[in-house]
């Protein structure tokens, strides 16, 4: 009898533990989705919100409206539930048009003039009273953008030298972390160079190679890189004053290895410019194309339509024409601003030639199920077969200023 009671007691504990586990698993999954899913989604006219996920998630309209995080307008709200039972969270649902884009994949060169001069370092000036650095003493820091000197625009390092040549205290208008401030700087006469100097190292332009992501046939614009062009010394995003996109010929590549990123090698060709640059944003560089390619446009995927699994990337590692290479999307994050996906290269041809993702491939389009889902942005230094990607929807939203029909 005691053995029977003991067996019943053990069975009861096992059943109780199983029931608790069956409850905790969906609750844990609900908490995971609450933290990883976006708070706002766009849905095409006439469609309902469907989120591609490993477990079934239903979206039911709450009948309420919420203020959109994108435009300030009011849109419908939907309650997300796991298995239609376990609550996840309430999200905003905004209507959107179908966006058709021409995928890129070809390399392009960037020539940029800054909107001002960026402080990238400091040097000591040997004056009559010893060494000093006027720029540091004035309170300037690396990454500051000098826009004006005595209310005269500064568009190049030459403008700054000219302003300092009088040897008088200058009133500099400076942009720092999006805020404007004024700084007084007094040049020092260098006994070494026989000139008035500020002790500032500045940069007024930038150039590089990347990959075009898409063209928009609706307005003739283009997008590339999927990340900003930043100053190599300070890591700060470069403010675009003016610039152009140029044709590039890829002549080869340096293969990437764990710990050492590879890179595409190429040169600016003599062809006519591809277009004019208009913006350098955290989501990529944008511009207006002089001409559109004859390639057919394909639909852009909304972020909730991107799924784990097989994909293609379009990129150019030799010659002039982009080629498709197989890849897999292994992780999706709707909450991060730009690192929305992890992409793994599976194509043996690309692995043999470049080792995976290399510098210069940033902006390579990612295709899945016949749609443009995003672009490759960064390589994992420890594993060049993998890297980050950004949603195409995120890039379109940045390009349009979140205005166009829910974008």
Catalytic residue ranges = 227, 347, 362
Q: DSSP characters for 29-55?
A: HHHHHHHHS-SEEEEETT-------SS
User: Which long-range contacts link 172-176 to residues 24+ away (Cβ below 8 Å)?
Assistant: 172/138, 172/140, 172/146, 172/148, 173/146, 173/147, 173/148, 173/149, 174/140, 174/144, 174/145, 174/146, 174/147, 175/116, 175/144, 175/145, 175/147, 175/239, 176/141, 176/143, 176/144, 176/145
Q: How far apart are CA 339 and CA 371, in angstroms?
A: 19
Nearest CA to 392 out of 49, 107, 98 is that of: 98
> Cβ–Cβ contacts within 10 Å for residue 57, how many?
22
Tokens in use for 9?
Answer: 């007691």
Q: Which pair of tokens denotes residue 83? A: 């298995």
Strands 40-44 and 86-96, sheet pairing: parallel
In angstroms, rounded to a whole number, what is the distance separating the alpha carbons of residues 282 and 333?
A: 17
Q: How crowded is residue 11: how many other Cβ atoms within 10 Å of its Cβ?
A: 10
Residue 192 Cα distances to 106, 128, 196, 304, angstroms: 49, 10, 10, 63
- CA dist., res. 207 & res. 88, Å (int): 46
Q: What are phi and psi of 400, to 5 degrees?
A: -95, 0
Which candidate, 154, 116, 122, 120, places its Cα nearest to that of 136? 122
127 alpha-carbon distance from chain centroid: 45
Only one residue has tokens 């994108």, namely 70
Cβ atoms within 10 Å, residue 41: 24
CA distance 230 to 330: 28
């Amino acid at each position: 009898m005691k053995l029977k009671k003991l067996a019943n007691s053990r069975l009861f504990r096992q059943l109780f533990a199983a029931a608790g586990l069956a409850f905790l698993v969906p609750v844990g999954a609900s908490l995971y989705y609450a933290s990883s899913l976006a708070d706002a989604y766009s849905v095409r006219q006439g469609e309902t919100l469907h989120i591609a996920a490993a477990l079934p998630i239903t979206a039911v309209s709450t009948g309420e409206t919420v203020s959109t995080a994108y435009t300030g307008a009011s849109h419908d709200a939907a309650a997300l539930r796991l298995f239609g039972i376990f609550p996840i969270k309430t999200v905003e649902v905004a209507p959107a048009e179908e966006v058709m884009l021409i995928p890129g994949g070809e390399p392009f060169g960037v020539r940029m003039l800054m909107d001002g001069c960026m402080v990238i370092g400091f040097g000591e000036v040997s004056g009559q009273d010893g060494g000093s650095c006027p720029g540091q003493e004035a309170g300037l820091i690396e990454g500051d953008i000098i826009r004006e000197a005595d209310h005269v625009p500064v568009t190049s390092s030459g403008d700054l030298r000219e302003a300092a040549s009088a040897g008088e205290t200058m009133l500099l208008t400076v942009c720092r972390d999006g805020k404007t401030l004024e700084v007084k700087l007094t040049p020092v006469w260098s006994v070494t160079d026989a000139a008035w100097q500020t002790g500032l190292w500045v940069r007024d332009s930038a150039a590089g190679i990347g990959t075009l992501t898409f063209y928009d046939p609706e307005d003739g614009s283009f997008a590339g890189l999927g990340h900003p062009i930043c100053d190599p010394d300070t890591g700060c995003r470069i403010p675009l004053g003016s610039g152009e996109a140029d044709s590039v010929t890829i002549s080869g590549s340096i293969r990437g290895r764990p710990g050492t990123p590879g890179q595409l090698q190429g040169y600016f060709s003599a062809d006519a410019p591809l277009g004019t640059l208009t913006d350098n944003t955290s989501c990529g560089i944008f511009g207006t194309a002089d001409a559109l390619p004859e390639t057919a446009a394909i639909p852009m995927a909304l972020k909730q339509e991107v799924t784990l699994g097989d994909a293609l990337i379009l990129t150019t590692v030799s010659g002039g024409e982009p080629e498709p290479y197989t890849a897999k999307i292994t992780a999706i994050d709707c909450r991060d601003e730009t690192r929305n996906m992890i992409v793994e290269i599976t194509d043996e041809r690309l692995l043999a030639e470049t080792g995976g993702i290399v510098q210069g491939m940033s902006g390579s389009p990612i295709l899945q199920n016949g749609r443009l889902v995003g672009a490759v942005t960064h390589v994992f230094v420890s594993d060049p077969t993998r890297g980050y990607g950004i949603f195409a929807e995120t890039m379109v939203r940045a390009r349009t200023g979140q205005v166009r029909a829910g974008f």
